[in-house]
Each structure stands twice: as C-alpha cells, then as structure tokens.
C-alpha cells in the first residue's frame, strides 16, 4: 500500500493541527506505516498509523487535540 493510501488522511490531519496554531512543516517517516508531525514551537506531535493494531488508533497525539502554547521568550539584559 504505502503512503499513497493515506495521503487524504495526512492532509486532513495537517490542516487540523495547523488550525490549532501549531507550527509544522513536513511529515517524518517513523516506520513502514507510521508518520508524524511535530510542532517547532511547543514540541507536541501527532502520529498516523496506516495499519493500526486492534488496540491502536489511526490518528493520535496532543497536537491534534490541544492548541499550541508558544514558549515565552525572555529578554536578555545588555551589559554596559
């Protein structure tokens, strides 16, 4: 089968993650049937399994269910 059988699910998942404010780019290939996205800001991820086991789900991860919380940047003090 390969990646071509789940391209629609990958696009839908990426759109969901982006709508939650996450900063994601490209899919990471974790195995033969496992793909993941990770937010560059909050490090939350979402994973897709093409052929999940009976006790697994196809799409899962915090990035698909929680909004992105960007880290607060602290200002550095300049020495005079």
Per residue of the chain (80 residues), give pLDDT as tens.
567 788 999 999 999 999 999 999 999 999 888 999 999 999 999 999 998 999 999 999 999 999 999 888 777 777 76
Q: Which of 18, 25, 63 is nearest to 42 (CA)?
A: 63
Q: Is residue 76 part of a domain?
A: no
Q: Number of folded domains in the chain?
A: 1
**Residue 10: predicted pLDDT:** 93
Q: Is residue 69 part of a domain?
A: no
Q: Is residue 77 part of a domain?
A: no
**Residue 75: predicted pLDDT:** 78
In which domain, by residue range, is 44 found? 3-64
Burial of 21 (0-12, 13-18, 19+ CB in 10 A): middle
**Residue 2: predicted pLDDT:** 64
**Residue 36: predicted pLDDT:** 95
**Residue 58: predicted pLDDT:** 93
């Amino acid at each position: 089968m390969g990646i071509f059988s789940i391209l629609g699910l990958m696009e839908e998942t990426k759109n969901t993650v982006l709508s939650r404010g996450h900063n994601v780019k490209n899919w990471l290939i974790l195995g033969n049937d496992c793909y993941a996205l990770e937010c560059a800001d909050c490090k939350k991820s979402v994973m897709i399994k093409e052929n999940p086991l009976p006790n697994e789900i196809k799409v899962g991860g915090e990035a698909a269910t929680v909004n992105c919380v960007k880290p607060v940047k602290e200002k550095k003090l300049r020495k005079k």
